Amino acid sequence: MDRRRVILLPGSVLPAAPAYGALIAALGDDVDAVAKDLEVYAGPVPPADYSLDTEVDGVLRTADESGWETFHLVGYSGGGASALAFTAKHPERLESLALLEPAWAGDWGWSPAHRALWARYRELDGLPPDQFMDAFVRLGVRPGVTAGLPVRTGEQPPWMALRPAGIRAFLATFETYDLDRDALVRFTRPVYFALGGLSNPDDYGEIAERLATVFPDFRLEVFADRHHFDPPHRVEPDRVAASLRDLWDRAAA
């Protein structure tokens, strides 16, 4: 059996290796997995002209350097938004798409609650880094959720200092990027969406509902006890691995 080829894009906080280590181990030795860090962190500051197309180009380069004409793509949070942008630009390169709570999915007439939430994200601009990160995390979960949220203890890893600027770069490109909905409608390969039951429903829940009406072959799986910062691919990797294998079997069929 041919080894399955997959590129995994992390979110805007944790680097790719720790984000996906448990999931890659659960997938097993017959999967050729590349956990690719985001281009927004390729240098000491985000590129001045940064957009989701920067991430699209990075995925394309990684696939070409690996010699992969086609592959499976998995994206979480900011990496999920990047995966959507890649799908719209290069659908012919993908065998399947897995979305683990993408942070954004176009500007297609969102509900008042969703728009109000994004107004609160915009209000974070200008906060000191620690306050920015704390407020950013709280917006991603249901009100009152505290279990599983990141806790700062001791000295922070060096990469953490880059995260506020990277997240701001993502929020800025979300304001201006034109995600081609019609191109996504034409994507007929299977799509999987993992949703945490404790994530903010006005954000990730509504994104899931919207994308269910966009992709012709779309399957949603809800992880009742998980949320955006306690995600299933890290906490329940065996279950997510089984779901990805099912997705890839559907793609092969």
Please give the pLDDT value at position 107.
85
Give the rounded percent of residues in the chain with a pLDDT score beyond 70: 100
For the domain that residue 213 is a member of, what is the CATH number?
3.40.50.1820
Dmax over CA atoms of the chain, in Å, equals: 52
pLDDT in tens, 171-223: 999 999 999 999 999 999 999 999 999 999 999 999 999 999 999 999 999 99
Rounded (10°) angle between helices 163-176 and 78-89: 40
Q: How confident is the model at residue 156 (pLDDT cuts 50, 70, 90)?
A: confident
| pLDDT confidence bin for 8, thresholds 50/70/90 | very high
Check pLDDT > 70 for residue 1. Answer: no
Identify the pLDDT of residue 71: 98
Report field, pTM of the whole predicted structure over 0.85: yes
Residues 6+ apart with CB under 8 A from 14: none
DSSP state, 90? -
Domain that holds residue 86: 4-252
pLDDT of the residue at 154: 73
Domain count, the chain: 1
> Is the pLDDT confidence value at 110 over 70?
yes
**Starting at the edge strand that comes first in sequence, how are the strands of the sheet with 94-102 ordered?**
31-35, 4-9, 71-77, 94-102, 191-196, 218-223
Residue 154 contacts by C-beta under 8 Å, 6 or more apart in sequence? none
* Phi and psi at residue 235, to the nearest 5°: -95, -30
Task: Report pLDDT digits (tens) over 233-242.
Answer: 999 999 999 9
Q: Which residue has the tokens 């994004």?
A: 118
Residues 55-62, mean pLDDT to the nearest whole number: 98
